[in-house]
Structure 1
Amino acid sequence: MQKIDTYVEEQFADLPETEQVVALKEEIKDSMEEKAADFMLEGKAEEDAVNKAIVDFGNLAEIKREFQLQNAPQETSGKKKKQKEDMSTLNLGFSICGSGLIIALLVFVNMYYTPQEIWFVFPTFAILWWPVSMAFVWLKVRKRKVMQR
C-alpha cells in the first residue's frame, strides 16, 4: 500500500530520522494498513479503502506534535531551568516591592486616620509571609543549581 507509505513519509518529513521516529512511522503505517485491509474485507475497492483509512486515522499533525513534546525536554531542559531561576528571582523581587508598598500604604492610612492607635503592625505580619515564602522558593532553586554543578 504505497499511498499510505507516501502519506506517512510526507507527514513526518520535517522530523529527523531517529529510531523513535522510524518506530512511530512504522506503527502508524501498520495501523493504517490494517484499517485499509478491514475496509477491503467489507467490500471496498483498494483505493477507497486506503483513502478511508487515512481519513479515519485522523490528523497526523496532532500525533507529531505530541511526539515532539515528549522528546523536547531533552533539548530544552536547560532553558526551563534557567527560566525557573529567573522567575524565582523575579517573584522574590516583586514580592518584596509589593509588600513594601502595601505596608507603606497601611502606615500612611494608620498615621493619617488614627495616629493615636498603632494598628498597621498586625496586618504587616500577614503581608510579610508573601516575600518570606518567595525567599524559600528562591533559596530552593539556588540550592538545586549549586547541587547540579
Structure 2
Amino acid sequence: MKRLTAHINKLFETLPETEQTKIVREEIIRDLEEKVADLIEEGKSEEDAINKVIVEFGDIEEIRQEMDLPDSNHRKSELARLNLGFSLWGSGLIIALFVFINFYYTPHVVWFIYPAFAVAWWPLSMFYHLHRKKLEGRE
C-alpha cells in the first residue's frame, strides 16, 4: 500500500498544499486502498490489485477541475515566458551598456563583442527552458 500512497502523493505534488487538497488526497488514498482490498478478496494478488487500481485511477486533471485549481503546467509556462522576456530585456540593456562604454572610452578597439557573447547565453538558456516547458505541456 506504500506504493499506492507514494503514487497519489506524486500526483498531488503539483497542486498547492491546502487543507482541501489534504482532505481530498487522504480520501482518495482511503478509497483506493479499499478497492485494492476488494480486489485481493476477489482473488487477485496484491501487486496486480495495486497496478489495476493505479491504472484505473488515471491522472488528476478531473480532480483539479472539480477543485477549481489552475493548471500548474500552464502557470509554469507563463513563468518561463516571463523569464524569457526579462532575460531578453536585461541582456539587451547590459549589451547596450558594454557598447556605450566601448565606444565612449576606447573607440579604436572593438571589445564589447566578447562580453556580449557571454551575456547572450542568458536569454538562450531561458528560451531553452521555455521550449522544454512547452514540450512537457504537450505530453
Q: TM-score, normalised by structure 2?
A: 0.52
Residue 41 of structure 2: aligned partner:
none
Please, what is the CA RMSD of the aligned residues? 3.0
Give the 4+ runs in structure 1 shifted more than 2 A.
15-22, 74-79
Could you say if the C-alpha distance between residues 131 and 19 of structure 1 is closer, same or farther in structure 2, counting changes exceeding 3 Å? closer
In our comparison, the structure showing a higher alpha carbon Rg is 1
Kindly state the Cα deviation for residue 20 of structure 1 after the two structures are TM-superposed: 4.0
Match of 2:88 in 1: 96
- Deviation per residue, 1:43-81 (Å, 9 max, x gap): xxxxxxxxxxxxxxxxxxxxxxxxxxxx9xx63885211
* Shift, 1:82, TM fit: 1.3
C-alpha deviation, 1:144, in angstroms: 2.0
- CA offset at residue 130 of structure 1? 0.3
2:118 maps to amino acid:
A
Q: 1:125 and 2:134 equivalent?
A: no
1:17-49 Cα offsets, whole Å, 9 max, x none, are 936469xxxxxxxxxxxxxxxxxxxxxxxxxxx
Shift of residue 143 of structure 1?
1.6
The equivalent position to 1:85 in structure 2, one of 62, 74, 77, is: 77
State, as a whole percentage, how many aligned pairs show the same letter. 40
Distance, in Å, in 1 between the alignment partners of 2:70 and 2:134 is 15
Distance 1:20 1:125 in 2: 52
What is the CA deviation profile of residues 103-129 of structure 1, one whole-angstrom value per residue up to 9, with x for unaligned ones? 000000011111111100000010000
Task: Identify which of structures 1 and 2 has the higher relative contact order when contacts are C-alpha pairs closer than 8 Å and 6+ apart.
Answer: 2
Q: Which runs of 5+ in 2 are unaligned?
A: 1-22, 32-59
Please tell me the residue identity of whatever aligns with 1:86.
E
Partner of 1:18: 27
Structure 2 counterpart SS, 1:18: helix
Question: How many aligned residue pairs are there?
Answer: 85
Which TM-score applies when normalising by structure 1?
Answer: 0.49
Distance 2:28 2:124 in 1: 48
